[in-house]
Amino acid sequence: MSKEIRVWDPLIRIFHWSLVLAFSIGYLSGDEESNLHIYSGYAVLGLITFRVLWGVVGTRYARFSNFVHAPNIVIQHLKALFKKEQKHYVGHNPAGGWMVVAMLITLFVVTISGLKLYAIEEGLGPLAGNSQVPLIMSSAYADDDKHDKNENGKDEGAEEFWEEIHEVSSDFMVLLILLHITGVIVSGRLQNEHLIKAMFTGKKIR
């Protein structure tokens, strides 16, 4: 008998589709430094902060403790996937759970490096006034030429460093998103489930 289960609460669904929108705007507006880029970046930072808190105090399937499994469980799940023998998970499956964690960490790196860049280039944002390269990386930047100040008084070595981190982490995030969408489509087909529809309605039919 099929049964309807409420999986994704309204906040998770609003979080998901707002993140898709904010990240897309941020990525597409990255090449020119516009207010739109900065606002979408702040929106992403706000959304991931909410998601981390909701992962601790949120509803059952939103909590990290519900979907972050030990590595051996993830390997077992991936092996069983193609034999169609996998255990059914109502919330995120073990591979999807780690993908959520990887996306949140990457988005954190993207937004913090963006804030650093904003502080160095414009002297604006919450990190303005603290625009150093992290101590651990400082040996790579020990070369004095790298710390030349340009005509605006910016530290060019630090600017280059954070620009690189910002760009590489944004592109890495796009790779994760492509894997995420592939994972959603493949596991939905294998399990005969409407996962995408569930991210709109909040419900799964079993």
Instruction: Compute the distance between CA of residue 67 and CA of residue 59 in angstroms, rounded to an integer.
Output: 12
Q: Phi and psi for 6 in degrees, rounded to 5?
A: -80, 115
Q: Give the residue with the Cβ less far from ligand HEM, 138 or 182.
A: 182
Cα–Cα distance measured from residue 26 to residue 66, given in angstroms and rounded to the nearest whole number: 30
Q: At its nearest, how many Å lie between ligand HEM and the CB of residue 57?
A: 14
Closer Cβ to ligand HEM, 76 or 172, answer by number:
172
Cα separation values, 178 from 88, 92, 149, Å: 23, 17, 39
Closest separation in Å from C-beta 153 to ligand HEM? 16
For residues 199 and 8, is the Cβ–Cβ distance under 8 A?
A: yes
Q: What 3-state DSSP class applies to 131?
A: coil
Provide, rounded to whole angstroms, the least separation between the CB of residue 123 and ligand HEM: 11
Q: For residues 142 and 151, which CB has a smaller minimum distance to ligand HEM in the complex?
A: 151
d(CA 94, CA 92): 6
Task: State the minimum distance, in angstroms, from the CB of residue 158 to ligand HEM.
Answer: 13
The total number of residues shown for the chain amounts to 206
Rank residues 144 and 151 by Cβ distance to ligand HEM and give the closer one.
Answer: 151
In terms of CB distance, is 30 or 73 closer to ligand HEM? 30
* Residue 113 to residue 176: CA distance in whole angstroms: 18
Question: What does residue 113 show for φ and ψ, rounded to 5 degrees?
Answer: -65, -35
Run of H or E residues at 136? none
Tokens standing for residue 118 = 């904003």
- Residues making contact with ligand HEM (CB under 6 A): 12, 15-16, 19-20, 23-24, 26-27, 30-31, 33, 37-38, 41-42, 44-45, 51, 62, 92, 96, 100, 103, 107, 110-111, 114-115, 117-118, 121, 125, 163, 166-167, 170, 177, 180-181, 184, 195-196, 199
Specify the residue, 139 or 153, whose C-beta has the smaller distance to ligand HEM: 153
Minimum distance, C-beta of residue 127 to ligand HEM, in the bound complex (Å): 9
Q: How far is the CB of 74 from ligand HEM (least distance, A)?
A: 14
